[in-house]
Structure formats: C-alpha cells, structure tokens
C-alpha cells in the first residue's frame, strides 16, 4: 500500500508543477457521462468505482473494495443539495453502501455498511476544491438486520433470538480535489471516526478510527 500512496502523490505533485488546472467535477457528472476511479487508503487497501451521471446533480457509482481481509461491493450515490455559482460554494450528500458477502473477524456472517456524509465545498479560481464534512457510519450483520426488520420465522437455534449486531458511529472530515489534467482529478479525503464526542474505540469495525483515501478519477469526455 505504501507504494500506491507514493505513486498517487507523485502523479499529483508532478502535474501540479506545470499544468494549468481545469474545471473538472469528479463528483457530479453531466447526464450520460461516465468516470472511473481508483483509490487506496484506510480501511480499504484498494477500491474502484465506475460512475454514471443520471442528471447534472445526481451521480451513481458501482463500487468494489478490498480491506486487508474482506472484499465488499455496492453503490455510491451522490446528490447536489445546494449550489451558489457566484460564490463557488455548494453542499452535497455522498452515500456509499457496501455489502460484504463473508467476513473473517465478524463471525463469517455477511454484513452491510453505509457511510452517508454531508459536505460543504468551496472551489477556487484555479479549480481546486476543498471541503469539510460530517457523516454517519452504520454497520450491521445481515442476519441481525433481517431479524430486526422482519422477525425470525423459525427459531431453530438460540442464535435466531440474538439482538441487533452492529454499530453506528459519527465522523468529521475534510478533503481536497485537484484537477491535474483535462480529464484526471486527484482527491484526498480524511475523516475521524467518533462515538459521540469521543474517538471510536476497538469496537469500531474498521480498525483504526479513521477513514482515509487518496484517489484518481478519470472522466470519459
């Protein structure tokens, strides 16, 4: 993973030195446009996304990620909530939803995880975007979720009577996105995972109480 970080950062700094920054928008594609993103970070060692612009303010992406032990896949939805073009300010919602068919450290059960976050974002005249965000991470065992929503049909084992297995945490974070060519944007995001006002402890399902990513997005124009 260390080598991937070096490659990402080297690409960004090398292009920044001599390239004129363009007005790319890696989050919201125009209707009918597509993009591809690759990323690394914490807790995901590798993650990929193919996104499609449904409207100019709503984009859907199909995602696949691998933590050090667990693969997962799902969707990432993002919607524009507010935009002021005169001040280059906007507010948007990002909401990835992951499904893990089989876990290793969580009893071998399938799990669901979602991470909706609302971000306030500013754009400079050079095309640099920086943002601050607040979010919620929710993780739940698929078996427990089914029992909670629909109840147990047949309680053949004591496990069928178990309570809710999962957790909810809040986050605060910041990010920056920099166009490095007409079609490529480099992004860096970091968030601290909290349990209320305290930093999340070992019960947090993602390991270290942080969510960090460095990514490159290519827009097919």
Write out pLDDT tens, residues 107-119.
567 888 999 999 9
Q: Is the pTM of this model over 0.85?
A: no
Residue with tokens 């999340």: 200
Select from 2.40.160.20, 1.10.10.10, 3.40.80.10, 3.30.70.1170 the CATH code of 2-220: 2.40.160.20
The secondary structure element, H or E, covering residue 14 is: helix 2-18
Measured between alpha carbons, how far is 77 from 96 in angstroms, rounded to an integer? 6
1-32 burial, b at 16+ Cβ within 10 Å, e below that, comes to eeeeeeebeeebeebeeeeebeebbbbbbeee
For 187-212, letters b (16+ CB in 10 Å) and e give: bbbbbebbeeeeebeeebbbeebbbb
- The pLDDT assigned to 100 comes to 85
For position 20, what pLDDT does the model report? 37
> In this structure, are residues 61 and 52 in contact, taking their beta carbons and an 8 Å threshold?
yes
Q: How far apart are CA 88 and CA 65, in angstroms?
A: 32
Token readout for 99 is 């499904």
Q: Which of 125, 131, 128 is nearest to 180 (CA)?
A: 128
**CB of 217 within 8 A of CB of 11?**
no
- pLDDT, residue 5, reads 52
| pLDDT recorded at residue 143 | 67
Per-residue pLDDT of the chain (221 residues; tens, 9 = 90+): 555 555 555 555 444 433 333 357 999 999 999 999 999 999 888 999 999 999 989 999 999 988 877 888 999 999 999 999 899 999 999 999 999 886 655 556 788 899 999 999 999 988 899 999 999 999 887 766 656 555 654 444 444 444 446 789 999 999 999 999 889 999 999 999 999 999 998 778 778 899 999 999 999 97
Helix (H, G, I), strand (E, B) or coil at 22: coil
How high is the pLDDT of residue 21? 39
User: What whole-number distance in Å separates Cα of residue 59 and Cα of residue 78?
Assistant: 5
Say which residue the tokens 């698929």 belong to.
142
**Cα dist from 82 to 73, 90, 102, 131, whole Å:** 29, 5, 38, 14
């Amino acid at each position: 993973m260390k080598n991937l970080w070096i490659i990402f950062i080297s690409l960004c700094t090398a292009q920044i030195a001599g390239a004129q920054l363009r007005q790319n928008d890696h989050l919201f594609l125009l209707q009918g446009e597509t993009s591809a993103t690759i990323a690394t970070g914490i807790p995901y060692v590798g993650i990929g996304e193919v996104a499609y612009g449904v409207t100019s303010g709503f984009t859907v992406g199909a995602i696949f990620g691998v933590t050090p032990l667990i693969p997962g896949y799902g969707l990432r939805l993002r919607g524009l909530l507010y935009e002021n073009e005169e001040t280059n300010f906007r507010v948007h919602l990002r909401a990835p939803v992951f499904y893990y068919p089989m876990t290793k450290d969580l009893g071998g059960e399938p799990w669901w995880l979602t991470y909706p976050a609302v971000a306030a974002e500013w754009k400079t005249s050079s095309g640099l975007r920086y943002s601050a965000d607040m979010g919620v991470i929710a993780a739940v065992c698929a078996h427990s979720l089914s029992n909670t929503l629909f109840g147990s049909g047949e309680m053949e084992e004591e496990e069928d009577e178990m309570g809710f297995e999962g957790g909810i945490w809040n986050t605060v974070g910041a990010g920056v996105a920099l166009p490095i060519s007409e079609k490529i944007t480099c992004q860096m995001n970091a968030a601290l995972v909290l349990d209320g006002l305290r930093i999340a402890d070992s019960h947090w399902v993602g390991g270290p109480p942080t969510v960090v990513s460095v990514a490159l997005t290519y827009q097919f124009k």
